[in-house]
Amino acid sequence: MNQDAPLDPVADLHARAERIRTEMGGAERVARMHADGTPTIRDHIAGILDGDSFRELGTFSRSMRLEDRASTPGDGKIGGEGTIDGRPVAIVGDDITVRKASSAIVGTRKISRLFERATERGMPFVYVGETGGGRIPDLIGAEGISDVAPSPYIARRRRRIPMASIIVGQSFGGSSFESAFSDFVVQVRGSVLAVTSPRVFEIATGEVVGFEELGGVDVHARLTGQIDVGVETHAEGYQAVRRWLSYLPPNAWTQAPRSDTRANLAPDPSLAALVPANRRRGYDMRRFCSALLDEGSFFELQPLYARNLTTGLGRLDGFPVGVVANNPMFNAGVLDPQACRKAIRLMCLCDAFNLPLLFLMDVPGFMVGKAVEHDRILSLAIRFVEALANLSTPTLTVTIRKGFGLAFPAMNGSGMGASGLYSWPGAEIGFMDPDVGVNVAFAARLAGLAPEEAAAERARLVAEVAGATSPYEAAGTLRIDEVIDPADTRRVLVDDMRQLAGRRIPPPEQRPLSYWPTV
């Protein structure tokens, strides 16, 4: 064989690509991860996408620094395009075999390029996060930090394409920023989501904090609300991303896919059986949502955060919908600052991607007290109402048992532009809980009355308030469209959904909530 013969360029291409994709940041590192049962970024991508659908882009990218070129394949980021359930998606993630997936100039450029392509092609964008933060010394200078700041391109995206993140390991800096931009965030137990590592805290401030305490699944699922779903395993995380995308269109210009399921429109007395007649008794609204929507379709979001409000995605007669529902099982279903944030997040998602919103109302009012006042309940309650008033997607409301105070319009009650506004016959609607109203009024009239007069006056007030809060009072002045038999709830809503299917969908630039911040 002639040793001086030129190497076949095509063979050289495949050899280079195979070496990069097999060895990544070091064959020994990959082997150790697999021996420990730890997926590489390529394993994560394969788990999320349809089998053999991944087409890599930027395979031959590497660090800008001359001395690091040979040891930084992909510059710590791997991405490309593939399919989920046959639908195209863009995907990129952190390769911890290369400098712990730290963010540097070329890797950051790859993320922006893949997002740019996804937006141009109108397909969802998925990020797999596990990075050790910014890379030193790449970012020490002005040029370096200018290249890895949170992407203004993604910040200006206005939700034209769905964006999901899955946090699979220790995530600081870059991948945390991507999750905060995202419409949907899954975090796997054992991972950490934070801006800064605890080690930096200790050096900078002397504060000592553990990884889980700083940004583990329980912190974000229950306290901060910065994730939508917490899962126990990587496989559950992959499935959560795939399921979430199944409810959404690929982009803001396209209708969401309708499934083949069709609802049973026969009267369903079991719906009323789930709701106690006594409005002081709690029940789990999640069970009601699951019973009302197509079987197995309800996908709850932020299930452990602000549990007094249930939100999620589901299908009704095959149509994807968003659900905002008070949950009397927790704190009587009252609205508080966390519930406002939770509702606004879902409203922004549904408005951006043309999903109708279903409001299921059973609310005693907004929470009162010093703590919620100091947590900006005033601003958040009005922001909730402002977001509702600016929705372009259609909304449907059913008042199940009660709607009192400002919480009645906030839960899409009268005057807020609902496409359909209904009430069950036993519901109560008014300025405040009738028992509270009677007590306030009775206390004012009590002075100077004899016991028998006081009892008669209280009985009169109870009857007066009870009559005033009847849904027939609102129906009489057309403040609600109809009082309906609870057994007919599904049929009424499905009729509306079928009629709304032919509606004019405004272009993305006419949907104000598509660019509202929600974190």
Model confidence pLDDT, tens digit, residues 17-27: 999 999 999 99
Residue type, 151: S
- Among the listed ranges 101-115, 194-208, 314-328, 341-355, which one has the minimum average pLDDT value? 194-208
Distance, CA of 193 to CA of 271 (rounded, Å)? 40
The runs of H, that is alpha helices, within 190-276 are: 198-205, 211-215, 217-218, 234-246, 270-273
Domain CATH code at residue 116: 3.90.226.10
90 and 65 in a common domain: yes
DSSP lists the bridge partners of residue 396 as: 358, 420
What pLDDT is stored for residue 81 in this prediction?
98
What pLDDT is stored for residue 156 in this prediction?
85
In a domain, 3, yes or no: no
In a domain, 263, yes or no: no
pLDDT at residue 278 above 70? Answer: yes
Distances (CA, A) of 184 to 195, 200, 408: 18, 28, 28
What pLDDT is stored for residue 96 in this prediction?
95
349 and 302 in a common domain: yes
CB proximity list for 228: less than 8 A, separation 6 or greater: 184, 185, 186, 244, 301, 302
Q: Which two tokens stand for residue 344?
A: 């606004």
Of the pLDDT bands very low, low, confident and very high (cuts 50, 70, 90), residue 194 is very high
Residue type, 148: V
Rounded to 5 degrees, what are φ and ψ at 166? -125, 120
- DSSP classification of residue 323: E
Residue pair 399/413 in contact (Cβ under 8 Å)? The answer is yes
Q: Which of 212, 246, 280 is the last residue of a domain?
A: 246
399-439 tens-digit pLDDT: 999 999 899 999 999 999 999 999 999 999 987 666 655 55
In a domain, 261, yes or no: no
305 and 223 in a common domain: no
Closest alpha carbon to 85 in 225, 234, 294, 238: 238
CB proximity list for 229: less than 8 A, separation 6 or greater: 184, 185, 186, 187, 240, 301, 302, 303
Q: Which two tokens stand for residue 203?
A: 């050096």
Distances (CA, A) of 218 to 211, 214, 305, 351, 380: 12, 10, 10, 29, 24
Distances (CA, A) of 196 to 104, 132, 152, 172, 379: 16, 9, 21, 5, 29
> Is 455 in a helix, a strand, or coil?
helix
Residue pair 27/34 in contact (Cβ under 8 Å)? The answer is no
Distance, CA of 201 to CA of 60 (rounded, Å)? 36
More confident residue, 419 or 459: 419
Of the pLDDT bands very low, low, confident and very high (cuts 50, 70, 90), residue 149 is low
CB proximity list for 312: less than 8 A, separation 6 or greater: 289, 298, 299, 300, 301, 322, 323, 346
Per cent of the chain over pLDDT 70 is 91
Closest alpha carbon to 397 in 364, 370, 420, 414: 420
450 and 380 in a common domain: no
- DSSP classification of residue 267: -
- DSSP classification of residue 5: S
- Among the listed ranges 16-30, 190-204, 259-273, 308-322, which one has the minimum average pLDDT value? 190-204
153 and 104 in a common domain: yes
Residues in the chain: 519
Residue pair 412/395 in contact (Cβ under 8 Å)? The answer is yes
300 and 183 in a common domain: no
Distance, CA of 179 to CA of 185 (rounded, Å)? 6
333 and 441 in a common domain: no
Distance, CA of 391 to CA of 385 (rounded, Å)? 10
Rounded to an integer, the average pLDDT of 90-112 is: 92
What pLDDT is stored for residue 147 in this prediction?
65
> pTM (2 decimals)?
0.92
Of the pLDDT bands very low, low, confident and very high (cuts 50, 70, 90), residue 299 is very high
Closest alpha carbon to 188 in 86, 295, 38, 83: 38
Residue type, 464: E
- DSSP classification of residue 220: I
Of the pLDDT bands very low, low, confident and very high (cuts 50, 70, 90), residue 198 is confident
In a domain, 163, yes or no: yes
What pLDDT is stored for residue 448 in this prediction?
64
Closest alpha carbon to 81 in 72, 90, 68, 92: 90
In a domain, 25, yes or no: yes
Do you find a cis peptide bond into 137, omega within 30 degrees of 0? yes
> Is 358 in a helix, a strand, or coil?
strand
More confident residue, 134 or 335: 335
pLDDT at residue 2 above 60? Answer: no
pLDDT at residue 348 above 90? Answer: yes
Q: Which two tokens stand for residue 395?
A: 């909304």
Q: Which of 191, 213, 246 is the last residue of a domain?
A: 246
DSSP lists the bridge partners of residue 146 as: none
Residue pair 308/331 in contact (Cβ under 8 Å)? The answer is yes
What pLDDT is stored for residue 442 in this prediction?
59
146 and 31 in a common domain: yes
More confident residue, 450 or 330: 330
172 and 60 in a common domain: yes
Rounded to an integer, the average pLDDT of 26-48 is: 96
What pLDDT is stored for residue 141 in this prediction?
67
Residue pair 180/151 in contact (Cβ under 8 Å)? The answer is no
Residue pair 126/83 in contact (Cβ under 8 Å)? The answer is no
437 and 352 in a common domain: no
Distance, CA of 444 to CA of 340 (rounded, Å)? 34
Closest alpha carbon to 322 in 344, 350, 361, 353: 350
Of the pLDDT bands very low, low, confident and very high (cuts 50, 70, 90), residue 447 is low
474 and 464 in a common domain: no
405 and 323 in a common domain: yes
pLDDT at residue 248 above 90? Answer: yes
In a domain, 444, yes or no: yes
The alpha carbon dihedral of 327, 329, 330, 335 has a sign of: positive
What pLDDT is stored for residue 138 in this prediction?
73
Strand (E) or helix (H) holding 346: helix 337-352
Distance, CA of 171 to CA of 163 (rounded, Å)? 17
Q: For residue 396, what are the domain limits?
A: 270-426+470-510
What pLDDT is stored for residue 13 in this prediction?
95
| Sheet strands (E) in 274-417 | 299-301, 309-316, 319-326, 357-363, 395-404
Say if residue 212 is exposed, middle or buried (CB neighbours under 10 Å; 0-12, 13-18, 19+). middle
The number of distinct structural domains making up the chain is: 3
CB proximity list for 150: less than 8 A, separation 6 or greater: 177, 181
In a domain, 256, yes or no: no
In a domain, 188, yes or no: yes
| Sheet strands (E) in 453-500 | 482-483
